[in-house]
Amino acid sequence: MIDLSQFVGQKIAVMGLGKTGLSTVLSLKSVGAQVVVWDDDEGARDYAAGLGIQCTDLTGITFDSVDFLVWSPGVPHTFPSPHPVADRAKSQGIRMISDIDILSISQPDAEYIGVTGTNGKSTTTALIGHTLKEFRPTQIGGNIGIPVLDLDPMGAEGTYVLEMSSYQTELSQFFQPVGVVFLNITPDHLYRHGGLEGYIEAKKKIFSNPPNQERKPIAVICIDTEDCYDIAEELEDDGIWSVVPVSTQKRLDKGVYVEEGILYEMREEGATQIADLKTFENLHGRHNHENIACAYTIIRQIYGAEPDRIIKAMMSFGGLAHRQYLVATINGVQYVNDSKATNADATARALACFRHIQWILGGQPKEGGLDGLDEYMGRIDHAYLIGEAANQFAEWLSLRNVPFTQCGTLDVAVQKAHHAAQIKQKGVVLLSPACASWDQFKSFEHRGDMFAYLVSTLQKEESKKDKTI
């Protein structure tokens, strides 16, 4: 846990008691800081009370004696409507910050790499962290599911690799990364930012506080989406960041690109082949080529590590538990957990990797629903619908003549998909919901863990059948 003793004697307000908020409160209380805590959700307050955390409604306090307000990323503060606590704090000149700011203040000597974009953040963050450990002390945290204040302290010899959502980039004012990976932009979380322009502006704030050092910080940007190309051009013109472009769609005369599955790095002598990405067993598909290329580039640019050592370390990466993770293979059928695919663009990346798909989808719908997935519908043998989006998705699938079954809950969907797949004994049962999880689960991790549990139960049942034959 990060030492926050420098905050002793300060009065700190914390808004939101999700995973990040609880971590912040417990870390501050452990050193004796005065903490005032609130969450609008009664269930969250009851849970906090069970941990010995007393809640005080922040809508009724005077902020005069508060040093700063730590705002949890899951709590809206501007859109879809201004939050009264945020409004009162701003009107009284109280700075709203994130837990990442507290980490940055508490661990000023360590180096930081930020990873953002719409899709691929968690895989890229984990891949950078896994690989960089070959070269120096490294920890990962942030939006990947590990609150940053639960990490261990590190000095100048260490690097924190942090996945940052738009909710975190817009709040983090003291975060000074030596490097940033910016993967892509597609519409997501628009209700929280007042539209696409606001979403992009929130993401761009990751570049707003470069470190004070002689060497320019490194911005690795995949320029395959128009908005990211524009961001790269803007940063290049400003001259504060050293911009290194990455592409999986075209050759570049600067930076790193992927062509026909081969990773190339542009050097003075021209394009140099680095690795055949088709040999990465746990990172299939062009979207993972983007993740690999960006992870390689940030490590290469910041730390100058030898390409062969970087690639060797990368190839031992086992993948993420909830991102196209192979849970089991039963009688030739793969069961894949892609619970982290919470929007259509993320789901497209999974659908592109498989055929004969028994597709489990649904939950709390995002902007755009299933728009953009038409080209993959020929890969779907059958769809199984769960959660709030079920009726909306049923209409979409009907218009495209994709057979589907209304299942309601994940356990029913897994059972039906398993039965259909086992008749054919080929293909894949794929949980790739294209939705948030909060209608039926605590998180996408909870949803993915439940899928894995259900599959393991089916695997045991099939094993018992084999023994009786």
* Mean pLDDT on 116-129: 94
* Mean pLDDT on 420-436: 95
Torsion of CA 400, 406, 410, 411, to 10 degrees: -130
What does the pLDDT read at residue 467? 62
pLDDT per residue as tens digits for the range 233-250? 999 999 999 999 999 999
Q: What is the pTM of this model?
A: 0.83
What does the pLDDT read at residue 314? 96
Query: Closest Cα to residue 125, out of 78, 99, 160, 152?
Result: 160
Binned at pLDDT 50, 70 and 90, residue 468 comes out as low
Q: Which amino acid is at 240?
A: I
Q: Which amino acid is at 244?
A: V
pLDDT exceeds cutoff 80 at 340 = yes
Distance in angstroms (rounded) separating the CA atoms of residues 79 and 76: 6
DSSP E strand stretches across 310-431: 325-330, 333-337, 357-362, 364-365, 380-386, 404-408, 428-431
- Asked if residues 341 and 434 have their Cβ atoms less than 8 Å apart, the reply is yes
Binned at pLDDT 50, 70 and 90, residue 374 comes out as very high
Torsion of CA 189, 193, 194, 200, to 10 degrees: -90
pLDDT exceeds cutoff 70 at 136 = yes
Structural domains of the chain ordered from first start? 9-97 (3.40.50.720), 99-315 (3.40.1190.10), 325-464 (3.90.190.20)
Specify the DSSP element, H or E, that contains 25: helix 19-30
pLDDT exceeds cutoff 80 at 469 = no
What does the pLDDT read at residue 36? 95
* Mean pLDDT on 191-214: 93
What does the pLDDT read at residue 186? 87
What does the pLDDT read at residue 282? 83
pLDDT per residue as tens digits for the range 291-329? 999 999 999 999 999 999 999 999 999 888 888 888 999
DSSP E strand stretches across 207-342: 218-222, 242-247, 256-259, 262-267, 270-276, 325-330, 333-337
What does the pLDDT read at residue 203? 96
